Amino acid sequence: MFSLNVANFGVGPAKVESLEVFCKGSAVRNARELAELCCLQSTVPTREQTLETSIVMGTVLRASEVRHIIEIPEDTHNSSLTARLHDALGSIVMRACYCSVFDECWLTDLRTLHPPRVRECPVSAVPSRG
């Protein structure tokens, strides 16, 4: 299974206020746009290909919860698409802003362990909706 995930490794719930996904410097709105941009349009998912997504922005992640932004079975129908997505991982960047139940907020690239605290979450120019 190829997947991009958001996980809450904290001790309490995280209110995900915004989520942005970029590929090659361009913002994408959903998994299909991500596949098109990162995979050169020649491997846009077809009907036979399964491209699962879930909504993350505007939801609450429980402590230890993992939510898939995109999930694709690595089978014969998807092999070209998942191979290109693996190759494109270095050019995929995500940015999320989340808040605690006490409205303390952080802006993260989903790679760092200690993201900077922000007064409030910025509004996403191109929000990613799965």
Tens of pLDDT, residues 67-113: 988 888 888 877 888 888 888 888 888 899 999 999 999 999 988 88
- Look at 39 and 114; give whichever has higher pLDDT: 114
Burial per residue of 98-109, b for 16 or more beta-carbon CB atoms within 10 angstroms, e otherwise? bbeeeeebbbbe
Domain segments of the chain: what residues? 2-93
The 8-class DSSP code of residue 24 comes to T
53 falls in which pLDDT band (50, 70, 90)?
Answer: low
Place of tokens 């409205």: 103
130 falls in which pLDDT band (50, 70, 90)?
Answer: low
Per-residue confidence (pLDDT) for residue 54, from 0 to 100 = 61
Whether the pLDDT of residue 116 is over 60: the answer is yes
Whether the pLDDT of residue 51 is over 60: the answer is no
- Compute the chain's Rg from CA coordinates: 15
Mean pLDDT across the chain: 83
pTM of the model: 0.79
